Amino acid sequence: MSPNILPSPASLSTFLASIKSLKRVEIDAGNKSDFIFRGQATDQPLIPRLARLSPKGDLLNIERLMMADFERQQLPFTEFNPRDAWDLLALAQHHGLPTRLLDWTYSALAALWFCVRKSPQKDENGDFANGVVWILKTLPEDFIGSTSNETPYKQNKTRIFRPRTITRRILAQDGVFTCHKRMDDGKFVKLEFNAAYKKRLVKVPIHADNFESLREDLMANGVSSLSLFPDLDGLAAHLERRYFHDAKPAL
C-alpha cells in the first residue's frame, strides 16, 4: 500500500489509532505542527467549489463581481462586520457561496462526521461509493500570518488560512481553510497535485459499508449535526436523524 494511504478503518478506535501513530512518526521526525483534516462523502479532487464551476465568461471577473455584490448586500443579514477581504471570504464560504476556499478542520472526528453523516452515495455504476478523510501534515510556513498584508486574490501559492471566529459553526467545527492559487491559465491547482503539498497529504479511505457504524460511534461520543452546527439547522438535522434514522420511504 502507498505510504500516503492508510488502511480503511472499520471502527472509530482504529481510525483514531491510525492518526495517533501517524502523528507520532511526524513528531519523531521533528515536525510538531498540527494536522488538518477534510472529510468527503466521495473521493473528489481537493479543489474549491468555485473551481468546479464553468460559467460563461471570465471566472476571475465573475468572482470579483460576485464578492462585491455579496459585500454590498450581506449587511442586513448579519451583525458581523467583516474587517477585510479574508473575513468577507470566510463569511461567504460559511453561507454557501462558491469561493476559492476549501474547508478543513483541526478535528479528525469532525472530518470523519462530514464523511459519514449521510448514507453513502451511489457512483456511476450504481454501486455505493466509498468516502475519504484527507490529512494534511502542515508546516508553519503554510499559514497566512495574522498580520499579513496578503490578499486572497493575489496569492502566488496555495496557503492555509485560519479565520477569525466569526460564526459559531467555525468555532464548533474548529474550521480552517486552504486558499487556492489560480494559475495563469485561470485554473486552480488541485491540492493533491500541488508540489508544495502532495507529499504531505495522507488519504484514509472510508468504506461505504462502514458509514453507519462509524456514524453511530461518533454520535455515541458526542459528535453530531447538533454539535458541529450549533444552530436551528443543526438541531433539525440532529432530531431528524434521532427519530427517523431507520425510517423507510413512504409509498
Instruction: Determine, yes or no, domain membership for 1.
Output: no
Domain containing residue 114: 12-244
Instruction: Determine, yes or no, domain membership for 86.
Output: yes
Average pLDDT over residues 164-186: 86
Could you give the number of structural domains in the chain?
Answer: 1
Instruction: Determine, yes or no, domain membership for 146.
Output: yes
Let me know if 40 is exposed, middle or buried by CB neighbors in 10 A (0-12, 13-18, 19+). Answer: middle
pLDDT tens per residue across span 59-102: 888 999 999 999 999 988 887 788 899 999 999 998 899 999 99
DSSP the chain: --TTBPPPPSSHHHHHHHHHHHHHHHHHTT--PPEEEEEESS---S--GGGG---SS-HHHHHHHHHHHHHHHSGGG-S----SHHHHHHHHHHTT---SEEEEES-HHHHHHHHHSSPPPB-TTSSBPPEEEEEEE--GGGBPPTT----TTS-SS-EEE-----SHHHHHHTEEEEEPPBPTTSPBPPGGG-TTTGGGEEEEEE-GGGHHHHHHHHHHTT-SHHHHS-SHHHHHHHHHHHHHTTPPPP-
Q: Could you tell me the pLDDT band of residue 1, with boundaries at 50, 70 and 90?
A: very low
Residue-level pLDDT at 9 = 98
Mean residue pLDDT of the chain comes to: 90
Residue-level pLDDT at 23 = 96
Q: Kindly report which listed range (44-58, 130-144, 191-205) carries the lowest average pLDDT score.
A: 44-58
Judged against a pLDDT cut of 60, whether residue 55 lies above it is answered with: yes
Of 1-10, 99-108, 179-188, which one has max mean pLDDT? 99-108
Q: What does the alpha-carbon distance between residue 118 and residue 240 come to, in Å, rounded to a whole number?
A: 12
Instruction: Determine, yes or no, domain membership for 19.
Output: yes
C-alpha cell at 128: 455505493
Instruction: Determine, yes or no, domain membership for 5.
Output: no
Judged against a pLDDT cut of 90, whether residue 26 lies above it is answered with: yes
Judged against a pLDDT cut of 70, whether residue 146 lies above it is answered with: no
Of 54-63, 162-171, 173-182, 208-217, which one has max mean pLDDT? 208-217
Judged against a pLDDT cut of 80, whether residue 57 lies above it is answered with: no
Instruction: Determine, yes or no, domain membership for 133.
Output: yes
Instruction: Determine, yes or no, domain membership for 4.
Output: no
Instruction: Determine, yes or no, domain membership for 251.
Output: no
